[in-house]
A and B are shown apart, each in its own frame.
Chain A
């Protein structure tokens, strides 16, 4: 503890403020007033601010702050602890939280109208509970606390997805979601209980103490269980099926938090277990993580490219980015397995930076999608278009988000991917065995592929959604959204830009985290704003200078032109479409845009199409063509539905036991008695 470390009372401030909101908004739920609209969101923003403050204080300081709560039962203590890792994730939670809270003011007005306060109050209340529970997950320092907060987080988000329950689709999504996450929690419970079996206590502190003493194969079991449990929440393929259903179903500012933050909480858990409770991860663990990560990354972004619903596109791209993060974790695991602490530190650094960045730009994009829905009344790319004139602010922030998520300099998305490549390279150079060579090479190629595909994906999303002519009446009459929503988006856009231009700030904050996890850290040099890689080998990236350079060099040709033949003239005419008039129908559609990729990767994503042509009587008339294209839901069909059918059919068979015949029942008793008697004799 040094003077920078946050005092006890302020650590609890965010949770306290969040937890205040449900009561508050339910109190206001009957009244129609400005207060009822603003107050809850203001309190939430206050809480988020407090969260950022606490996180910064902790990360700039050293050591950690711990509280012993009360004991639920004599064995189960609720204790909290704020250490660097928790603090970093507190930051990850708080930044999008602030934006979402602000955004929510206008968004809820738009979606529920100001006339009926009850549903909006419910939404605010749930948002408060959601944020509080997420914060508690990262602060919890005992199994019971962690699991309570974890389950609350899932339940609250479940209710947010289901909403008022009138939409059957939302109900179904919510059900799939909560069941998968609940079963996942079961695996987590087992993992924690195995740890508890060895440490003799349910407290994380005890886990840390006895971390070394667990036999190898039990460590493996723990890791696998943790992967199942947290992987379900992270949406790793094939545990992802709930994600593209649930995230879009929720209100957009909630989607932003679910996709941007909640999935990260699972990463937090994975890191805790993998680097604190079971040190010395086995080699296969790293390889497994890298493999799973690559699969999720590539398939995720491919599925995103096949989607028409803007929010589903974003949801699938979340699967992709969680995949990238998992690759990062895998690299770190491989490095720590080979005992290269610095490489592990670099990989963790990269992973966490990317994690933060993703939470920012994914949040931004979801807010943008919500704004589009509010302004244009649809999320279907095939019905959007031309928003750049109608919704300039939304367009601007969505463009920034798109560039960030496509990993383009100088935005923050690129920093993370750059660091991950660097860590891959250091892994390759330091721990070279042929097996690892293949892993590293595949990882590098796969990540490059992912980056390029996500560029394609967001050229499509932005280009089709926002540029050219509107493709539907609703979109034609689209209007810009209110100030609070713009403010929410602007905040995240600004953060994305700032994190892109000054990545060193984040890296500096992450020093204590890696120090705590792998015992060493990578000190980024501040020379020329460059980010040096682990071995200080001068492979570097200086965002600010790149921007200046771009500006400086970009003007040269234009200057030349100016000098050579004065200022140019410009004439505005209709687009040339071979003599006709340009109609929205002529424009390249989202489906058409994805066609080449659909064809190139058809082996991976198994698309299907059906074309039905109605030939009219007269040959002069154009035949009517019904065209339908999509992607087979492989996992649903071959994994989950099969499981469900098995369970239900077996259940139906067993049901026959309860035949209604009393003699059968008596026979059960009789036989049971005889069997036990024979056994015990």
Chain B
């Protein structure tokens, strides 16, 4: 059984890395090995689920279905890539004396990275929604130290806000979990009551609607804070911009979706319990508002990584809209968008990190001529920005198209939402591209940039881009065709999450 191995491996990798921090080569080797094995195992689990469908595990503690499979695959791939990219990234910072207590710090870094990865992997496999809550809180704790990794003033500030805000959110969510449990108590009685998804999703119809409404509100606000819905997203830009770039990639690409994952589980139950569009419309509202609020921050942004962070707010909003619209088409679009965004945003953060290191700054106004400094990085950034803003032939275009399509096929609220996001996406495109063009074109001026031109990097561009190739492939592939097995997996997600399958296109 892959799953047990998958869930056991990362902590081991983490500890071994920490122990071997004096022997750099060995540590990196372990890191690479662990990362690749994790990816392989996760993909194994995913294919297993795609083939044989969902199943419980370890006496019902773990339960993996299509949704878990998709999440596992994405988390593992992004995390694994981040682990590979980290090698050159961290080495550079080590040479630059940016890492507190040097080599030991590096050891801590790899420990943190793999633990962080592990908490997310576990979270999406848990059956019990209470434990799911525990898992999500654990992801916060695991990543908090990584956010503050550089222990600069800014980093600590970001870390502090991250912990406080997310913990507050999580605490609010706990109240929701509690109410859910109470609802199941009422429905099933003291003996049979449980927080297990397997139980709740079947008995959802019997749960007290009013109670579930209240519960969902708390869960949505709570996990929503973690997922980065506006106006609860305030920690997001700080954390993303201060964390080491590989970590930023993981935060944006998979941590936010993990929180969304939690919301989705409760959403499905609430949907079934209330039988109304109550929870859907709440999701829709948060989604649209997130996109709306992200736009101004994208348009007048000064910091490259913050730019990407706000784009994450926008995209998590889009996912919320998709799941809020619901129906086979909407959910399909949402899950597809989740995957596409993860892949694309990870690439962008890797590129941003490389640029930040080469130019010694993240200020957009201070960076010019990336393409001259390093064609590969520059083109990756430019094409990445074009991709994230929904240009074909990339997956984002397909998923955004499908979201809008699902929206305009729906009722008034959904049509309004669809139209709004389509119009806003135009503005986002203008903003993102404006910054991207200023970054990649032109000629580097400052000394640091000339240094960058001289190519003092220890690692060649090709070696740098190598680990990113799989992500690039997925990005383009999903823009041209979503392979049948994967597509079936997404459809399975749709059936998991929407108890009532209504035809999206009337």
Chain A positions within 8 Å of B, measured between CB atoms, are: 70-76, 144, 147-148, 151-152, 155, 162, 165-166, 168, 171, 174-175, 178-179, 182-183, 186, 189-190, 193-194, 196-197, 200-202, 647-648, 650-652, 654-655, 657-658, 662, 664-666, 668-669, 672-673, 676-677, 680
Instruction: Count B interface residues, CB 8 Å.
Output: 67
Q: Which of B125-133, B198-206, B295-303 contacts A (4 or more CB under 8 A)?
A: B295-303
The answer, among A201, A665, A673, A676, for a CB contact under 8 Å with B165, is: A665
Other CB < 8 Å A-B pairs besides A650-B296, A669-B225, 15 of them?
Answer: A76-B401, A148-B397, A155-B391, A162-B441, A186-B423, A190-B419, A190-B422, A193-B405, A196-B405, A200-B506, A662-B160, A665-B234, A669-B165, A676-B221, A677-B217
**Contact, CB under 8 Å: A662 / B164:** yes
Cα–Cα distance between A189 and B481 once the two chains are bound (Å): 20
**Contact, CB under 8 Å: B506 / A648:** no
**Contact, CB under 8 Å: A666 / B232:** no
Kindly list chain B residues whose C-beta atoms are within 8 Å of the C-beta of A189. 401, 404, 422
**Contact, CB under 8 Å: A200 / B393:** no
Does B78 make an interface contact (CB < 8 A)? Answer: no
**Contact, CB under 8 Å: B169 / A647:** no
Kindly list chain B residues whose C-beta atoms are within 8 Å of the C-beta of A193. 404-405, 408-409, 418
The answer, among B231, B293, B393, for a CB contact under 8 Å with A148, is: B393
Cα–Cα distance between A152 and B165 once the two chains are bound (Å): 42
Cα–Cα distance between A49 and B164 once the two chains are bound (Å): 67
Does B30 make an interface contact (CB < 8 A)? Answer: no
**Contact, CB under 8 Å: A665 / B161:** yes
Q: Which of B82-90, B430-438, B458-466 contacts A (4 or more CB under 8 A)?
A: B430-438
**Contact, CB under 8 Å: B426 / A672:** no
Does B237 make an interface contact (CB < 8 A)? Answer: yes
Cα–Cα distance between A281 and B505 once the two chains are bound (Å): 26
Number of A-B contacts (CB under 8 A): 158
What distance in Å separates the Cβ of A393 from its nearest Cβ neighbour in chain B? Answer: 37
Kindly list chain B residues whose C-beta atoms are within 8 Å of the C-beta of A196. 405, 408-409, 505
Kindly list chain A residues whose C-beta atoms are within 8 Å of the C-beta of B430. 179, 182-183
Does B321 make an interface contact (CB < 8 A)? Answer: no
Q: Which of B217-240 contact A (CB under 8 A)?
A: 217-218, 220-221, 225, 231-232, 234-235, 237
Known: A196-B409, A655-B300. A183 touches B401 (CB 8 A): no
Kindly list chain A residues whose C-beta atoms are within 8 Å of the C-beta of B426. 179, 182-183, 186
What distance in Å separates the Cβ of A206 from its nearest Cβ neighbour in chain B? Answer: 10
Kindly list chain A residues whose C-beta atoms are within 8 Å of the C-beta of B422. 186, 189-190
Cα–Cα distance between A657 and B231 once the two chains are bound (Å): 9
- 16 interchain pairs (CB within 8 A)? A72-B480, A148-B392, A151-B397, A155-B391, A162-B437, A166-B441, A174-B437, A183-B426, A196-B405, A200-B505, A648-B300, A658-B234, A662-B164, A669-B225, A676-B282, A680-B217
Cα–Cα distance between A179 and B278 once the two chains are bound (Å): 37
What distance in Å separates the Cβ of A193 from its nearest Cβ neighbour in chain B? Answer: 4
Does B364 make an interface contact (CB < 8 A)? Answer: no
Interface string of B372-409 (1 = CB under 8 A from A): 00000000000000100001110001100110110011
Kindly list chain A residues whose C-beta atoms are within 8 Å of the C-beta of B371. 165
**Contact, CB under 8 Å: B231 / A74:** no
Kindly list chain A residues whose C-beta atoms are within 8 Å of the C-beta of B264. none
Kindly list chain A residues whose C-beta atoms are within 8 Å of the C-beta of B506. 197, 200
Which residue of chain B is the closest to A75 with respect to CB atoms? B329
Cα–Cα distance between A566 and B429 once the two chains are bound (Å): 75
Does B336 make an interface contact (CB < 8 A)? Answer: yes
Which residue of chain A is the closest to B298 with respect to CB atoms? A651
What distance in Å separates the Cβ of B226 from its nearest Cβ neighbour in chain A? Answer: 11
The answer, among B220, B297, B409, B427, for a CB contact under 8 Å with A197, is: B409
**Contact, CB under 8 Å: B437 / A171:** yes
Cα–Cα distance between A165 and B401 once the two chains are bound (Å): 30
Kindly list chain B residues whose C-beta atoms are within 8 Å of the C-beta of A186. 422-423, 425-426
Kindly list chain B residues whose C-beta atoms are within 8 Å of the C-beta of A155. 386, 391
What distance in Å separates the Cβ of B61 from its nearest Cβ neighbour in chain A? Answer: 31
Which residue of chain A is the closest to B504 with respect to CB atoms? A75
**Contact, CB under 8 Å: A75 / B505:** yes
Cα–Cα distance between A179 and B433 once the two chains are bound (Å): 8
The answer, among A75, A171, A651, A669, for a CB contact under 8 Å with B296, is: A651
Does B491 make an interface contact (CB < 8 A)? Answer: yes
Cα–Cα distance between A196 and B410 once the two chains are bound (Å): 11
**Contact, CB under 8 Å: B505 / A673:** no
Does B168 make an interface contact (CB < 8 A)? Answer: yes
Does B250 make an interface contact (CB < 8 A)? Answer: no
Cα–Cα distance between A152 and B487 once the two chains are bound (Å): 24
Does B9 make an interface contact (CB < 8 A)? Answer: no
Kindly list chain B residues whose C-beta atoms are within 8 Å of the C-beta of A72. 398, 479-482
Kindly list chain A residues whose C-beta atoms are within 8 Å of the C-beta of B169. 669
What distance in Å separates the Cβ of A230 from its nearest Cβ neighbour in chain B? Answer: 16
